[in-house]
Structure 1
Amino acid sequence: MRGETHAIPERSGTAFWLPKGALLTVIDPKGGQVADLLAYNAVDVREVISSGRTLDYAETISLTTGHHLYSNRSQVMLTIVDDSVGQHDFLLTPCSIDTFHHFYPDLEPHRGCFGNLVEALAPYGIEPDAIPVAFNCFMNVPVGPSGKLEVLPPVSKAGDHICFRAEMDLIIGLTACSAPASNGGTFKPIHYQISDNVD
């Protein structure tokens, strides 16, 4: 049974402890909104989620139900146990103020997911340089035949979700993404729930 629903306001982020065996459900309450997710070993935060290890071991960039998210030490940190969308990204880094200068020079710069994660993770002793590529829930980044990447609006609809099981005690960083292209030009909240694994 799912626990209390927590809301992350648009263009912001949070961090929290997730015990081994617990389920984390990330929800797109209104549809079309990306959430950047990071995971650190709660005992040693130098162990962190790794895009490279995960994609290498999964042999695919299309991660969904049944796939594991690995750490830089090749340990399973999270397992995807339920996924109503099936379209996520683990290639692109969290957006930042530099992202805005690069891609959105005509818009007011925003500190982005990177800045939001820096603030949220600081109380856990996690420094900016320890923030890697995030698992971008609901982000739609197709790869063209030439290898070119596109950032298209998410295909997630209101109420869609992805659920992870923690395979070790974790510190989680989670955002409601701030980049216009990633979210189809709009900004909305992200919800999440933490519950016991009843299996």
Structure 2
Amino acid sequence: MANVEAAYRSGEGSKLAVDKVFYDSLKEGQAKRTLVETIKVPMRFGQAWKVPAGHVFRIRVSDGPQVGDFNMWNLHDPRERMWASRTRQLQRAHVSTHDRLWSTLPFLRPMATIIEDTLEDYGKDEDGGRVHDLLGTRCDPYINYLLTGEDFDFHCHSNLVRAVLPHGLTEFDVHDVLNVFQCTGLNEDDQYFMKPCPAQKGDYLEFFAEIDLLCAMSCCPGGDLSVDFLGRDGIDPLSTCHPLEVDIYRLDPVALENWQSPKSPAYKGVHGMRAPNIDWSVIKQDI
């Protein structure tokens, strides 16, 4: 297959270029950090948490292999949220170290940058599978009913809805996800496939928060996806389900001396829309 050049280029001098030296300096052992909080996400459950700008959060496999469906919003304005499709274009379909998760229009800025990934060396397997997937989205009760005719409330979509309700968000705020630790790809017919999760206890994906964030994650009720996640083979994947944990760290201010929270692009236009020409003198006479 020809190595066709990417449409959005992040090479030297590009606005998309990442300061790898800076982000590497934030890794554990490089910059002083203090553990602020650990959030436990029970199996088949969802949880939400806040991360201040300039902090690090780590999604960690605390027990056994487990996929997590991840959402993210601007803490102060949930209209700005993670944009999975644009992130696929600007970064890649499966993200890892130095990739960024971008926000929706009209904001369009990096919300978080991945600074460490213990599964980075997984690469691409013999079936074309890779980890940390932006290709697919969350499982939900609507597709479950469509395919099986049965109701089941503990899908990732439902878990995320329950997680964000206490923060003033609703089902309409839940959006396409980053499937953390999930191994996926496209087959020869260009169809989406999922493979068993390769993550083991102690593996993690770590992010630097570029802005104040509200995050939410569901421990997928499909567990490690080694069993059909819809139960179509008659086996409940419950035995493959495990919890996940999230660690939030505060960095030493010295590590952030030259860092600034990213701004939105300075587009000042009105999308070509113009108000019609109005003769206000005539209107005033009529009044």
| TM-score, reference length from structure 2 | 0.64
Letter of the structure 1 residue corresponding to residue 83 of structure 2: S
CA contact (8 A) 1:80 1:163 kept: yes
Letter of the structure 2 residue corresponding to residue 88 of structure 1: H
Task: Report the equivalent of 2:119.
Answer: 85
SS in 1 for 2:145: helix
Match of 1:145 among 188, 194, 203: 188
Choose 1 or 2 for highest CA Rg.
2
Task: Report the equivalent of 2:251.
Answer: 197
Cα root mean square deviation, aligned: 2.0
Task: Report the equivalent of 1:76.
Answer: 110
Task: Report the equivalent of 1:45.
Answer: 78
Distance 1:10 1:65 in 2: 26
Task: Report the equivalent of 2:124.
Answer: none
Q: Which has the higher contact order (CA 8 A, sep 6+)?
A: 1
CA contact (8 A) 2:65 2:223 kept: no
SS in 2 for 1:7: strand
Identity %: 26
Task: Report the equivalent of 1:32.
Answer: 65
Letter of the structure 1 residue corresponding to residue 109 of structure 2: Q
Aligned length: 197
The alpha carbon displacement at 1:91 in A equals 2.0
| TM-score, reference length from structure 1 | 0.90
When structure 1 is superposed on structure 2, of 3-12 and 13-22 the one drifting more is: 3-12
CA contact (8 A) 2:39 2:246 kept: yes
Per-residue CA deviations over 1:2-24 (Å, capped at 9, x if unaligned) read 62433211000111211001111
Per-residue CA deviations over 1:82-136 (Å, capped at 9, x if unaligned) read 0011311112222122243345x39872331111111111122222122111111
Q: Structure 1's 166 and 175: CA in aligned 2 closer, same or farther, altered over 3 A?
A: same
CA contact (8 A) 1:2 1:193 kept: no
SS in 2 for 1:140: strand
The alpha carbon displacement at 1:160 in A equals 0.4
SS in 1 for 2:225: helix
Per-residue CA deviations over 1:153-183 (Å, capped at 9, x if unaligned) read 1111111000011100011111211125736
Structure 2: which 5+ runs fail to align? 1-32, 121-130, 228-236, 256-287
SS in 2 for 1:52: helix
Distance 1:23 1:43 in 2: 18
Task: Report the equivalent of 2:47.
Answer: 14
Structure 1: which 5+ runs fail to align? none
Is residue 2:197 matched to residue 1:165? no
Task: Report the equivalent of 2:145.
Answer: 101
Letter of the structure 1 residue corresponding to residue 72 of structure 2: A
Task: Report the equivalent of 1:132.
Answer: 175
Letter of the structure 2 residue corresponding to residue 178 of structure 1: P
**1:118-129 → structure 2 map (5 Å cutoff):** 118-129=161-172
Per-residue CA deviations over 1:15-57 (Å, capped at 9, x if unaligned) read 1211001111001122320111111011110111011110111
Distance 1:101 1:180 in 2: 20
Task: Report the equivalent of 1:174.
Answer: 217
Is residue 2:94 matched to residue 1:62? yes
